[in-house]
Chains A and B, each alone.
Chain A
């Protein structure tokens, strides 16, 4: 890809990153641990790293991206791995568990324990354990979106639930939500750029999330976002992003269909279960009026009951594992579309300004202002980030669905195996009596002889 790098950028890893002045970076950027990046200058950066200190201006953590990309372009070493490849060094582990209900005079809510284990130097301690509620996760996500607008931020489980329709404190609901929150954090922790975001750090480590600063930041963000919009219209989207946009639309559609079908299946399964139970009880009551057939009929009733149990297990799996993943991806698509739109805007802005500048240059030979180049960089960072995240998302998606579908296949196989075993044992019960009959008949006949 063509990056018209600002003249200050070196083309290889000779200059430490701190000396490379990126036109867009206001605060120092955290380093992403690419395998070939020299971290010699890293230690100096510690000063600039925030541990609860808000970032002044939203800036894409793109310097490192650019740096690595350049590195790749120049360095034809086949061993060079894409920093976004799956085998990244995992040195940040987070878990969400242990939901607890808190009752206060004003409200009732649930908190979750967020545990962190890390060897990263950006963190003061190797381990943390804090309690967070949904609001806090929401805060984190908003901060991430604002501070890293060029990246795909994973979605949160839905915020609003209709009181009276869904019980916010039911075990099932809390369990499902907790799993989704866990997934959310894990995805961020695995992201090479997002995981270094200072807000994440604060979220994971601070005793008390200082949200007031966040509010102030929010208003600043609002202004700057507006300044970016500026009423520029996009003319042509580059092909790879066109493909992305189309894919998003179609995928959204497919997911919607699959989600609806899955819901319907669940409903049918529960109705089937009710009917099946009824079916079993009829056999049991029939057994009551029979003599010879009592055991066989009771056997049937028992068998049907076993199948009911097996079906119940499978339905549970569907609703607890399959549906939430579908839900997550549906939510993902919305945020992805947003990011794509913002990317389009930055491209539109750049093209708009460039056009204006070129025209002016033609008129009175005014050189193209640095602003335009700023826009270009911004756009290109955006493109690079988005592309990288997009590939990462694709790869994650593939993993997720592969796991999901194989899991579902396993559960189905288990269901059928359980049922098969039940019916097979019933047959032995049914056939036993027959052989009993035959032997008793035979001996009777022998006696008659």
Chain B
């Protein structure tokens, strides 16, 4: 587990400034004992289009991302060695994440950026090959790596290390871990959700919270997309003043004033695109937590599963013990077919009874082992998961607060721009 070291966290504080383009990485990247982060500087530097044959031998175009790593001590010393780098495509990131989810079911695993652009207000930006989308995805993938690499538990994983350092042979290594076999079947998980009797209350609250978080972030993203659509129309559907330049042509006295005001408006309209682009960053932060909610819920469901399995095992043990008691004492407490047939056809021979009893004893011993295992499994999961959930909560509060602050800062700069443009325009009007 992560070692506790306040000094280390102070040291790693500096890591934040070399992280990627978007400011989100400055949040909670620095965890105590984040071993990988301390050792390596990681970034997703570029994106490139490639063509190749896919699994079913069909030609396809896809994007690959360049991952660069550098030893941290070199950076700290001021040396600037060439980074080690390799190319990975999105599906490989997905594979890594799936591996992590299965291997660490008590961890709220950081999400990947969305596979396809959603919550778009402009049809054109729904294209996966769109350069803006690719760029934002690059940033999102870097963010993912940094979050994973600074996680107290996940950062120690060997497969993660190979992902960052071994271009070839990584896939084989992942498959060799056999994680796919360990994955819980969907059906089993779903069944557990419905049939579990005594899930931990805190976890149920968490699950409920994850639903709320998901619903709110998605509502917000949708509302924002609508707003952007409107704002775009508003600004660019040519404020009356933008037509000032045209109008100015036919005016003698008012001409100059109108024209210069018109120029200001034109410049303002042109800058709207940049402003709206900045806002996209806020949407990305919201999206991250939208997907995080899913990860949180997965941990809660895992708890339900372990609890359910424990309940099943306990139930099974109890019923077996009951059977043994019945056999031993001959008293039939509950209705059973054996009991009925006994009554009808007479009791069985003592040797048979002995054999059956022996079998039951073995089964009971097995069952007790199982119950022990499941109890441990459940308890471990509860303990570890709870730790990570607390960590996640703190991270979420900090990140979202900062996101809100950045959003407000952006709004303020938009207002300032607006004030400036209109004050300039007013100057022009006064000279009319």
Contacts and interface: CB of A to CB of B under 8 A. Distances in A.
B237 A261 contact: yes
Contacts of B6: 445
The A interface is mostly helix, strand or loop, or mixed, namely: helix
A109 interface: no
A261 B401 contact: no
A265 interface: yes
Interface stretch (A48-56, A160-168, A169-177, A426-434): A426-434
Interface string A384-413: 000000000010001001100110111011
A272 interface: yes
B133 interface: no
Given A409-B423, A423-B408, A275 B227 contact: yes
B2 interface: no
A261 B240 contact: yes
B426 A406 contact: yes
Given A293-B397, A303-B408, A427-B405, A276 B227 contact: yes
B243 A258 contact: yes
Given A262-B240, A426-B408, A417 B419 contact: yes
Contact of A402 (B217, B227, B231, B429): B429
B404 interface: yes
B227 A417 contact: no
B356 to A, nearest CB: 55
Nearest to B211: A289
B226 interface: yes
Number of chain A interface residues as a range: 35 or more
A73 interface: no
Nearest to A437: B398
Contacts of A408: 241
A286 B224 CA distance: 15
A269 B411 contact: no
A93 interface: no
Interface residues of B, number: 50
B176 interface: no
Contacts of A293: 397, 400-401
Interface stretch (B164-172, B246-254, B299-307, B381-389): B246-254
A409 B412 CA distance: 19
A264 interface: yes
Contact of B432 (A257, A401, A416): A401
Contacts of A269: 234
B353 interface: no
A364 interface: no
B409 interface: yes
A446 to B, nearest CB: 12
Given A282-B216, A413-B423, 13 more contacts: A254-B247, A264-B237, A268-B233, A269-B234, A272-B227, A276-B227, A292-B401, A293-B401, A401-B254, A409-B429, A413-B418, A424-B408, A427-B408
18 contacts: A251-B250, A254-B250, A261-B237, A261-B238, A262-B240, A265-B237, A271-B230, A279-B223, A283-B220, A285-B216, A286-B212, A402-B257, A409-B423, A409-B429, A416-B416, A419-B415, A420-B411, A430-B401
Interface of A: 247, 250-251, 254, 257-258, 261-262, 264-265, 268-269, 271-272, 275-276, 278-279, 282-283, 285-286, 289, 292-293, 296-297, 300, 303, 322, 394, 398, 401-402, 405-406, 408-410, 412-413, 415-417, 419-420, 423-424, 426-427, 430-431, 433-434, 445
